[in-house]
Every structure is written in structure tokens, then in C-alpha cells.
Amino acid sequence: MEITQWLTQWVTGGSSTSPRAAKRPGLRRSKTRRVTVLRTSCFVALGGALFFLLGVCLLNLPDPRQQPFPLAEGEPRDVTLLLWTHPFGHYRRLPDCEARFGIRGCVLTDDRRMYPGADAIIMHHREITTNTTALPSDPRPRGQKWIWMNFESPSHTRGLWRFEGVFNLTMTYRADSDIFLPYGYLVPRFRPHANAAPHTHPRRPHLLAWVISNWSESQARVAYYRRLVNYVGVDVLGRAGVPLPEDSTVVRTVRRYLFYLALENSQHTDYITEKLWNSLLAGAVPVVLGPPRENYERFLPPEAFIHVDDFPSPRLLAQYLLLLRRSPALLQRHLAWRRSYSVHLTAFWAEHYCTACRAVRNHRLRTNTIPNLQRWFES
């Protein structure tokens, strides 16, 4: 079936179920959405209703910039947050939360001698599960909160069973975490910018890129790439491809491309990483493989990305990308949302520490522990 036939069938209400979507393991089954930008209703949305429509899609998520916990009575006092280990053993200078993020009343330290007086301890999963470091052996001070921090997917998170009933708060990319902080998020513009979505076609000489460091033939993303590359050229960059120039970054490199493969290494609820957000910062349209389209639409307007499950086969996806390259007006429908939103890429790990500190500062009442950490995180 050619791409024109597929799009005609889509618009006239033909079947949209992708065989790949129907067979995907490890995720809740859900109705697969088609190429949303081509819905007749979306043409209307691009008019006066666009700003409202885009805003609604983001109301499904808690705002990571706002405190999810109720405030204690009165002005909460300063709190001390102890970082038990630096993630992955890489030391980074601790930030000034007020100067950098406008979060007051936070004292950050990595000095373990501060343990008895710390209001909360933040522990990164990798170090405690690999026995790089042990949990505190001293009795836990009254009211002290232990925060479990992890930004890897369940496929790469081992030993959760060891920490049942240990932690008080979770901090992850999942929207149902106690402290929610995604890899990135959209920030509504105070005033929509008329020129925020320029025609990028003449200034982007290349079609499709993929930056990948960890290549494994067992991954769904590699299997999909091997099928897609039969129908469209893909520039593979990074440690698993052509090295990035020493004086460049992922975002700077991707600015030369119309589309970017934002393919996650595993597929889990809310696991949408910097791969997506880097491509958005670069102004490219991301082609995503990860959780279902409905999950992405909690973070983004429907037209802001192309999901591989929108198409029954990689061949039809390739034809659609080539069609967009030939049709700048059609391509702009994937970019119009930029008039109403800017992209924020979460600052690892400074933003995490300050977000956790704000949560602890404004919430004094919770002291219960999490009894089913593994069941929750793997759900």
C-alpha cells in the first residue's frame, strides 16, 4: 500500500491498528492512534482553537515546577538535604537552588557527617543496588525522609526487592512519583509567538539522524532501524556510528536535520528520555519508539511527534517522511505548536536535588514507607 493510499484510508476512517503496536509486550494494550496531524479536526485546531487544544494535552500531567505536596502551616524553615552518593560516581558541584531555580530554603550537602541533622537523604539507585555504597547504618533520625531516586527504566533497574519498606518518597520520571521530574517538559509561552515555527525546510540539508551510544541487537529500536533503513537513509551518529564532531553537541548536530529518531532502549510507562527533548530543542520533528502514543500525548501536543505505531510498516513511515520533505506546508503542521510552547530540558542533576529539597521543605507530615516499590515501578 503506497503512502497516499494509506493516508486516504486513514482520513476516510479505515483501520489504523498497527501489527507492531498490537504485539508489543510489557505495556498496557491501548487503542493505537493514527497520524494525528491528518485528522480533519486537527485542521480546525490549527485555527483559533489551537492554543486551547495544546494546553489541554498538558493538563494531564502534574507541573514539575510546582510543589505537589501541601504546605505546612506557616513559613516552612530551611531544610538540609544530604546527597548520599553522586550518581554513577561522577562528582558534580552542588547547586545554589535559589540562584539557579528560585527555590528558597534549601541546604544541600554531600557530607555524610551531616546525617544526624539532615531532613532528608537522597539515594541514587545504581550505587546502592551495586553495593558501591551501603545504606546508612546508624538509626534513622525521627522524621528524616529517605528518597529513592532513579531515572533508568525498569529494564535497567535491578534489585528493587531489597528496598521494600525502606524509602519514604520516590523521585523518578514517572508522573505518579512522589516527586515527579521528567527528562524535559514544555513551558507555555506567556504570549504565543507568531514566528516561533518558521519554515525549516530550506535550512536543513539532511533528512533523518539517529544518535546512539548503546547498540544491542536485542533491542526493539535496533530491529526497527534495520527495517526502516531499507526505505530511507538514516545518518547514524554517536559511539555506535559516526562520532560527533568534538566541537559539537547532539542538539547542534541535529539542527541540520528535519527528523530525528528518538528511539528508547526499552518501552515503559512515562519512560521518555532526553532523546525526545534534544530533538525538540534542535527544532527537528522526533520519530518516537517507546510507550504508546497516548503516553507521549500526556507530555506533548499530538502533532509534535511522529510515533512509529502510527504506521503499519517502516516502509510507510519512510514514505511519509519523504512526503513531508517535499511538502513544507504539511511539515509545518508538526511545528505549529512551537508558537505556544518552549522546550525545557531538565538539568541533570542540579534540578533534581533542588526539586527534591523543595518537596521536603514544604511537606513535613509524611513518614510512612513504600511497601511495594518493585511492583509500582515495574507496572
Q: Which amino acids are annotated catalytic? A: 152
C-alpha cell recorded at residue 149: 531516586
Phi/psi for 307 (5° steps) reads -95, 140
Q: Kind and range of the H or E element at 21?
A: helix 19-23
**164 backbone φψ class: left, alpha, beta (φ>0; ψ -120 to 50):** beta
What residues pair up with 179 in beta bridges, in sequence order?
171
Cα–Cα dist 104/79, whole Å: 10
In the chain, the amino acid numbered 8 is T
Residues 6+ away with beta carbon under 8 Å from 283: 200, 255, 335
Residues 6+ away with beta carbon under 8 Å from 30: 292, 294
Residues 6+ away with beta carbon under 8 Å from 75: none
Cα–Cα dist 346/281, whole Å: 12
Output the DSSP codes for 356-372.
Answer: HHHHHHT--------TT
The closest of 278, 275, 309, 337 to 57, measured between CA atoms, is 337
Answer whether 233's CB lies under 8 Å from 208's CB.
yes
